[in-house]
């Protein structure tokens, strides 16, 4: 049984994007991270409740064995996994870790320049690098905290 496929089909059928899925070591906890690109401020608690209710029903019908289901937004430090993620967040600052070192280096911080000919492009202080998606172990957005002009409060 392909749990990821079941989750992907259900989440996308509800109009959301399945960003990531985490399973606890014994598969007892399922953590599902969803997004809705059309919503400028991201998914909210009502979105998570809607998806959670639907997934609970589908997982029961599909006889998926788990103890707890958690549905949430991907957060400000969202993980980037698919080529579409790297295209969507072009211009954003990211951290990137490679599976194997490149010139003795596995960790990179820089500005994502998008995708060209299937390669992820990243600008760092030392120049621009291109990586195959398969070479990337983990990539995340770097949260941006912008201050409002009127009150200098975080938004």
CATH assignment at residue 87 = 2.30.30.100
68 and 9 in a common domain? yes
112 and 135 in a common domain? yes
**What is residue 152's predicted lDDT score, i.e. its pLDDT?**
59
From residue 117, alpha-carbon distances to 50, 87, 100, 135, 137 in Å are 38, 12, 21, 15, 20
117 and 63 in a common domain? no
Pairing of strands 68-72, 29-35: parallel
How many domains would you assign to the chain? 2
**What is residue 27's predicted lDDT score, i.e. its pLDDT?**
73
Residue 149 in domain:
no
Q: What is the pLDDT along the chain (155 residues), one digit of tens a residue?
A: 689 999 999 999 999 999 999 998 887 999 999 999 888 888 999 999 999 999 999 999 999 989 999 999 999 999 999 999 999 999 999 999 999 998 889 999 999 999 999 899 999 988 899 999 999 999 999 998 775 555 555 55
**What is residue 42's predicted lDDT score, i.e. its pLDDT?**
86
96 and 59 in a common domain? no
**Total-model pTM:** 0.81
> CA–CA separation, 23 vs 12, rounded Å?
20
Helix (H, G, I), strand (E, B) or coil at 134: helix
Residue 147 in domain:
no
Residue 148 in domain:
no
The residues with which 78 forms a beta bridge, in sequence order, are none
What is the span of the domain harbouring residue 52?
3-72
């Amino acid at each position: 049984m392909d749990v990821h496929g079941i989750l992907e089909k259900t989440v996308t059928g509800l109009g959301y994007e399945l960003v990531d899925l985490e399973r606890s070591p014994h598969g007892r906890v399922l953590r599902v991270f969803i997004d809705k690109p059309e919503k400028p401020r991201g998914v909210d608690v009502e979105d998570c409740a809607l998806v959670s209710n639907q997934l609970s029903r589908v997982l029961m019908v599909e006889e998926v064995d788990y103890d707890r289901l958690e549905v949430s937004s991907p957060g400000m430090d969202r993980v980037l996994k698919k080529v579409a993620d790297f295209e969507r967040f072009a211009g954003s600052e990211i951290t990137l870790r490679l599976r194997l070192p490149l010139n003795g280096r596995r960790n990179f911080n820089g500005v994502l320049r998008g995708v060209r000919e299937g390669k992820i492009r990243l600008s760092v202080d030392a120049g621009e690098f291109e990586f195959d998606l398969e070479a990337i172990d983990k990539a995340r957005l770097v949260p941006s905290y912008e201050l409002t002009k009127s009150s200098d409060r975080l938004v």
